[in-house]
Amino acid sequence: MAQSTLVRIVLLNPSPGAPARAGGSESPAVASLARLGAEVGIEAVHTASEAGAHALGHEVDLIVADTGVAAAEVEALLERMRDEGPPVVVVMDADDPEAALDWFRRGASDCVAAGAASEALPAAALDLIRRHRTNRERQTAERRIASLRRYTKNIIQNIHSALLVVDGACRITYANSTAEELLGEPPGSLLGQEATRFFAGEAAADQPLLRTLEKGERFRGAEAWVARADGERVPVAIFCGPMRDDAGQELGAVAILQDQSETRRLQRQLFQSEKMASIGQLAAGVAHEINNPAGFIDANLFQMEEYVADLRRLWRRARALESAARSALEAGPTGAEALRTELAALRAEADEVDADFVLEDLGKAIRESREGSERIRHIVQDLRTFARPDARERVWADVNQCVDSTANIVWSLMKHAVELEKDYGELPALLSHPGQLKQVFMNLLMNAYQAVAAKVGDSGALGRIRIATAVEGADLVVTIQDEGIGIANDDLARIFDPFFTTREVGTGTGLGLSTAFHLVQAQGGRIEAESREGEGSTFRVVFPQTPPDPSAR
């Protein structure tokens, strides 16, 4: 059939070898169909199976069974076309309602008498073709819709993120299978449940979904905890926003939850190794800080041992004097001589050991040593709180205490080059991970120290580092400002990139600032950096204040 053919008709025709549109000798059916127009293509076939093969293989609009075709062939054709395929028009030899009814029963779409064919056939053909086409288009559309639906469903079901849709009352109206797995619920059971119960423990005001529903807020990767039915708690990143229909009417909210367990684990590993690296750098300072008191305590103990030996010698003299005095009392005046001798010996011994000094210095040595052991205890305590892994959940932290104990740890390392200024303001408690906060401050302080050390070098001068904390509006701000070498403008944009370092290989991991940046970001804060090359840098760690919430206390 020609490419331009719009309507395709298969003609089941008894005369073998005759071309379909050969001229006047044709059957009236062919002649009348030809009048439908040039865009009608007629394919003549001679058996039912040929017609069927054609109709099912091509986009055929109509089959016409002409007169003269054996009734058995027409029946076979109708049988074949019964459930699918194009409509079949049977051209009968004569107008015979009985026969027509029979053909209709067998599945014919229309019957036309040969005599009336020139009038009736084209009209019937057109009508049938129109209906068939409409039908075919609808089926195609339905198939495509069903396939699209399956496709979308597959996408939604197979994405590695949990998808939840909730209505205005925060009841779940849709959940994909990842959501069911994440929340630990059997398939299909999430529908109609209150989504808030899966965020239990979180203060209501903090639940992103509720904030989306109530205030229209959008979240991109906010940190949250999912409380599963089995009691397990899973860290998730939540992305959510309001869902509106085409008219802008609020329907609820759409949320995507991503399981962060693995990410968190890797992060913890990275932070731990970064922490170990900083601890390595600290070892020198800490060794120094502990060895000083250890040194003088040790020397003092040694000396105190000698003092005790001195005092023991004195005590022996005192005992001798005691017994001499006793004898003198019994012997009367003759005992006085022995008493005088012992008195002189005690005096001489006391002078020799420098008893007054020994007694005074013994007290001093004990006090100084106790002070030293107290210092060691403090250092170890600071180190321990620093090295201790944080609880998985946030706790109320005193930011001033975090920054101060960190400053104490690094102080011994930097004191030869640094003048430290502290200006702590009154701060409310912050819901956070104190160990991570300390690591952030440690990394920033080490960075400041290295910038200062690079500037003062061996000059003997001291560079200033200023630590300030303050509440600024709704934020809690820790500023660490140094008078170091500063950062070149080109480098400033990259300082938070992992492994970016301007220092020599081997002097830093290049992870300090990037770790600090991510730790702060993960806790909902940010770090701002400002610098002038040659003059120094200012890092501001900004946390939004935790809203006071009685249920979390």
Q: Phi and psi (nearest 5°) for 314?
A: -60, -45
Angstrom distance (rounded) from CA 165 to CA 418: 56
C-alpha Rg value of the chain to the nearest Å: 48
Least gap, CB of 302 to other proteins (angstroms): 5
The alpha helices in 457-543, defined as continuous H runs, are 489-492, 512-522
CA distance readout (Å), 176 to 184, 190, 207, 208, 271? 12, 9, 21, 19, 33
The alpha helices in 203-335, defined as continuous H runs, are 208-215, 261-331
- Smaller CB separation from other proteins, 60 or 413: 413
How many beta carbons lie within 10 A of that of residue 110, not counting itself? Answer: 21
Measured in residues, the chain has a length of 553
- Smaller CB separation from other proteins, 49 or 291: 291
Least gap, CB of 548 to other proteins (angstroms): 43
Residues contacting 247, CB < 8 A, separation 6+: none
- Smaller CB separation from other proteins, 369 or 531: 369
Least gap, CB of 305 to other proteins (angstroms): 10
- Smaller CB separation from other proteins, 104 or 411: 411
Encoding tokens for residue 77? 């054709």
- Smaller CB separation from other proteins, 23 or 460: 460
Pairing type for strands 88-92 and 62-65 reads: parallel
Least gap, CB of 439 to other proteins (angstroms): 23
Beta bridge partners of 226: 234
Least gap, CB of 461 to other proteins (angstroms): 7
Least gap, CB of 373 to other proteins (angstroms): 11
- Smaller CB separation from other proteins, 266 or 461: 461
Q: Assess contact for 179 and 164: CB atoms under 8 A.
A: yes
Angstrom distance (rounded) from CA 464 to CA 380: 26
Least gap, CB of 297 to other proteins (angstroms): 8
Encoding tokens for residue 70? 């054996």
Least gap, CB of 275 to other proteins (angstroms): 21
- Return residues touching other proteins (CB under 8 A): 284, 287-300, 302-303, 361, 364-365, 368, 371-372, 415-417, 458, 460-462
Encoding tokens for residue 128? 């049938």
- Smaller CB separation from other proteins, 179 or 362: 362
Q: Assess contact for 121 and 33: CB atoms under 8 A.
A: yes
- Smaller CB separation from other proteins, 288 or 316: 288
